[in-house]
Amino acid sequence: MTYTVEQVDQVADWLRALPAIDDSQRRMDKQGAVKRLAAEIAALQERGYTIEQVADGITGRGIQITTPTLKTYLQRIKKLTGNGARKTARRAVSPAGRKHTGSAPNETEKTPAAGPSLATKTESGAAPRNTRTEFIATDRERL
């Protein structure tokens, strides 16, 4: 089925003329609800509540959610907002740095005295050279 430009423009005019919906009446899915509650959930966890207790409390107030689902949604939110990026970068570099011993030195190896400068470079965003290939080699050794 095809439509004329005039028909589509009339629909567009109608859509533009619709009034805004009251924000408090806007519908959201479970993940949207967790996103909206993320700051409060984090505050509860800082006060000692477990994720299981939080999930039970949320469910008791009408938003049906299991503990694994809540954990998954919170991890997605953290990933999207970048709150976990720094820890992830450290973990990716760490196995290669620990495992690499013995063979010929390369640019990523440092003496113990130079260790803090390597950490500073990594935290500032400049990754050491060969990290990816060393990490892959480490993974192969584990297999």
pLDDT in tens, 35-84: 999 999 999 999 999 999 999 999 999 999 999 999 999 999 999 887 65
Q: How far is CA 113 from CA 44, 92, 96, 102, 118, in A?
A: 41, 22, 19, 18, 10
* Residue 53, CA atoms < 13 Å, CB-side half-sphere: 9
CB atoms closer than 10 angstroms to residue 100: 18
Is the model's pLDDT at 18 over the cut of 70? yes
Is the model's pLDDT at 134 over the cut of 60? no
- pLDDT, position 92: 46
More confident residue, 91 or 83: 83
- pLDDT, position 80: 86
- Model's pTM, two decimal places? 0.47
> What is the C-alpha to C-alpha distance for residues 104 and 97, in angstroms, rounded to an integer?
14
- pLDDT, position 76: 95
Q: pLDDT tier at 24 (50, 70, 90 boundaries)?
A: confident
- pLDDT, position 14: 96
pLDDT in tens, 25-42: 889 999 999 999 999 999
Strand, coil or helix: 112: helix
